[in-house]
Amino acid sequence: METRLLEQFVAVATEGSVTRAAERLWAAQSTVSAGLASLERTLGVRLFERTGRALVLTTAGEDLLPHARAVLESLERMRDLATVDDADLRGRVRLGIFTSMDVVDLTGVLRRFRRRHPLVAVELMTSPTGTTGLVQDLLAGRVDLAYSGLPNPPGGLVVEPLREMPFRVFTAADHPLADRASVSLAELADEPFVDTAHGFGNRVLLDQAFDRLGIRRRIVAEMNDMPAVIRFAAAGLGVGVVPDPGVAHEGAVLELEDDVPPLRIGLAMRAAPEPNRATRTLARDIVAARVAQVPTDGREARLVAAPRLPSVSPPRSPRRSRAGARSSGSSSAG
């Protein structure tokens, strides 16, 4: 039985769709469909039933799925144990990122990582629903590591802090409040707002702050990144209350008087099953690259805690892996 057939089975079971599974595996739909059919013939059972547009596991499929996952996890562990040193690391790491925010010097991290581990392919992925979508992808196994800005991440994840960003108020230069040093959310209650879309960590925090005040605000535009919020606020479309990413803009920036927690961005990975060695190594490199950020007003952000990510344990097997792999990597943040 080929490993790829089990990978296709697990991917379709996770996604509930051949189309999404094919996208996850970087394969053609016909290849995934043919793989499922082949696996069903080999096992002599049907694994899925079609319900409308979704694929649902049969009883046999539900019984076999945990065993398929266990086989794949065991094979991954075997590859880790067969790796003698870091230069022999191989495999794939899927990293979920924010494309419009420099959380760390990610391009530098990836450049050095690829130089040291040319047999590891790093794939960069994004989500249209921001941190919420990335965390869902992480829990579903669609990515191996992900940036997270959720104030309360779900259980089963290990999250290492990378950066803290305080909320500030952005307006057009000629806005009536532009000459103020600070402003409260209550004073902004009647203003039109520009904000990020639902699911972004900063949107979750700000919505919670307005809910506590009993204020229902009017949002006139939703963006998929924070710099766009600041640009449109500077253009006079509305006010923007977002963490300060330090981008240049032509508007005014005011301190927020309310006690809104800063956006705390961290690197998240699943606690179980244990990530492969390549994933743990890249996670270690990203956490090591974090630095204290200096906002535009010159005040230094608070230093973050020491890392607690799983250590990269030394291999138990002295044998060198002989399996071939192509050097691969991503040159774009999406």
What is the C-alpha separation between 228 and 247, in angstroms, rounded? 10
What pLDDT is attached to residue 14? 85
Instruction: Tell me the CA distances in angstroms from 233 to 2, 82, 249, 285, one per residue in order.
Output: 54, 54, 9, 36
What pLDDT is attached to residue 129? 85
**Strand ranges for 76-204 from DSSP E:** 91-96, 120-125, 145-148, 157-165, 167-171, 182-183, 192-196
Q: Which two tokens stand for residue 142?
A: 């669609």
What pLDDT is attached to residue 82? 66
Q: What is the pLDDT along the chain (334 residues), one digit of tens a residue?
A: 788 899 898 888 888 889 888 887 878 999 999 999 999 999 999 999 988 778 899 999 999 998 988 888 788 777 766 665 666 788 889 999 988 778 899 999 999 999 999 989 999 998 888 889 999 999 988 899 999 999 888 888 999 999 999 999 999 999 999 999 999 999 999 999 999 998 899 999 999 999 999 999 999 999 988 899 999 999 999 999 999 887 788 899 999 999 999 999 999 999 888 888 899 999 999 999 986 443 434 343 443 433 445 444 433 333 333 333 333 333 222 3
Q: Are the CB atoms for 139 and 207 separated by under 8 Å?
A: no
What pLDDT is attached to residue 307? 40
How many Cα atoms sit within 13 Å of 3 on the Cβ side? 8
What pLDDT is attached to residue 86? 62
What is the C-alpha separation between 147 and 160, in angstroms, rounded? 9
Distance of CA 104 to the CA centre of its chain: 14
What pLDDT is attached to residue 313? 40
What pLDDT is attached to residue 84? 56
Helix (H, G, I), strand (E, B) or coil at 28: coil
What pLDDT is attached to residue 162? 94
